């Protein structure tokens, strides 16, 4: 084996290295999802479950923009770091492929909704812009985030095996 071949072979990650990278990616995705949920609660004005019916809150455009950025980061990480391999048909583990076949189409639908929400609200310029439908959109968004998390957990569990 010549020197170049040895160098190329040493750059190919081992199975153990790939698995460690995957576990780090999964942990990062879960951490980002938690950040989305916390940011969503702040945006929605829910500081605790007990106070949800008595609190009044009007989100600022900056709060909304910050939330959108975290949500887009989370969505992109899931897509490019976790699901891309599945989408491209590069995943070899049958358990992962089976779960992905069941749940990925619904995850893709949630991605579309998250992107649409971002497109609708990320470019607001001031608090005076029309936020009259934000409450309803946030309610539906909360449902979408919860559904996505449940579906995503199924794929992540299969990937961890």
Q: Are 139 and 45 in contact (CB under 8 A)?
A: no
pLDDT (tens digit per residue) in 80-126: 988 998 889 888 999 999 999 999 999 999 999 999 999 998 887 76
pLDDT of residue 144: 97
Confidence of residue 60 (pLDDT cuts 50, 70, 90): confident
pLDDT of residue 35: 97
pTM of the model: 0.82
Average pLDDT on 138-156 reads 96
d(CA 51, CA 148) in angstroms, rounded, equals: 25
- Greater confidence (27 vs 45) lies with 27
pLDDT of residue 150: 97
Q: How far are the Cα atoms of 9, 44, 78, 140, 145 from residue 135, in angstroms, in the given order?
A: 55, 8, 26, 9, 15
Average pLDDT on 53-65 reads 76
Architecture of domain 19-44+57-160: Up-down Bundle (1.20)
Confidence of residue 31 (pLDDT cuts 50, 70, 90): very high
Give the start-to-end residue ranges of the domains of the chain.
19-44+57-160
């Amino acid at each position: 084996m010549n020197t170049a071949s040895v160098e190329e072979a040493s750059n190919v990650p081992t199975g153990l290295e790939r698995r460690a990278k995957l576990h780090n990616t999964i942990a990062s995705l879960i951490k980002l999802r938690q950040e989305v949920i916390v940011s969503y609660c702040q945006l929605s004005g829910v500081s605790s479950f007990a106070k949800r019916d008595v609190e009044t809150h009007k989100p600022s455009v900056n709060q909304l923009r910050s939330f959108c950025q975290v949500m887009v980061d989370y969505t992109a990480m899931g897509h490019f770091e976790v699901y891309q391999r599945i989408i491209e048909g590069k995943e070899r583990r049958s358990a992962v492929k089976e779960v992905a076949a069941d749940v990925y189409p619904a995850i893709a639908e949630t991605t579309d909704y998250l992107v649409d929400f971002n497109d609708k609200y990320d470019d607001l310029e001031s608090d005076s812009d029309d936020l009259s439908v934000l409450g309803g959109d946030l309610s539906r968004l909360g449902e979408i985030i919860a559904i996505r998390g449940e579906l995503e957990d199924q794929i992540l569990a299969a990937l961890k095996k």
